[in-house]
């Protein structure tokens, strides 16, 4: 497990690491009443956080240490079950920067949110 998978905030959300390499990382979690808003939807911050765990885990699974610089998320659909799965894939980079795309789906494979992000390498 990467250090990120052991972070207390990952525990708070109930996020589990399924896989992690510099090229790809996968995290999952169960949606609980704590994660939903008054309209019954999952909080944007919950979906973002799961995607961010996958991103942070992947970019730190290589030889360098990377810190997130920017990230964006677009919400595409509501979950049809009680699971969230975030799959981060590296889409490009240089020695200094790493760029990722994270697709968040529910347990049925429905695309819920697309997250893209950039991290930079610290010395």
Residues that bind a copy of itself (CB under 8 A): 3-4, 6-9, 12-13, 33-39, 41, 43-46, 48-50, 52-53, 56, 65, 67-77, 91-94, 96-97, 99, 101, 103, 111, 114, 116, 118, 120
In the complex with a copy of itself, the residue whose CB is nearer, 21 or 103, is 103
Smallest gap from residue 5 Cβ to a copy of itself (A): 10
> With contact defined as beta carbons under 8 Å apart, do 116 and 101 qualify?
yes
Interstrand relation of 65-75 and 111-122 (parallel, antiparallel or unpaired)? antiparallel
Smallest gap from residue 28 Cβ to a copy of itself (A): 15
In the complex with a copy of itself, the residue whose CB is nearer, 33 or 63, is 33
Helices (H), the chain: 3-6, 8-13, 44-59
74-103 b/e (C-beta count within 10 Å ≥ 16 → b): eeeeebeeeebbbbbebeebeeeebbbbbb
In the complex with a copy of itself, the residue whose CB is nearer, 18 or 91, is 91
């Amino acid at each position: 497990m990467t250090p990120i998978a052991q972070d207390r905030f990952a525990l708070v959300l109930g996020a589990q690491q399924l896989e992690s390499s510099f090229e790809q990382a996968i995290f999952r979690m169960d949606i609980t009443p704590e994660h939903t808003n008054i309209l019954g939807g999952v909080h944007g911050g919950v979906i973002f956080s799961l995607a961010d765990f996958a991103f942070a885990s992947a970019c730190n699974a290589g030889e360098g240490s990377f810190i997130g610089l920017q990230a964006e998320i677009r919400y595409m659909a509501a979950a049809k079950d009680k699971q969230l799965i975030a799959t981060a894939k590296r889409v490009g980079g240089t020695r200094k920067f790493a760029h990722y795309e994270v697709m968040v789906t529910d347990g049925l494979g429905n695309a819920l949110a697309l997250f893209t992000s950039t991290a930079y390498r610290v010395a």
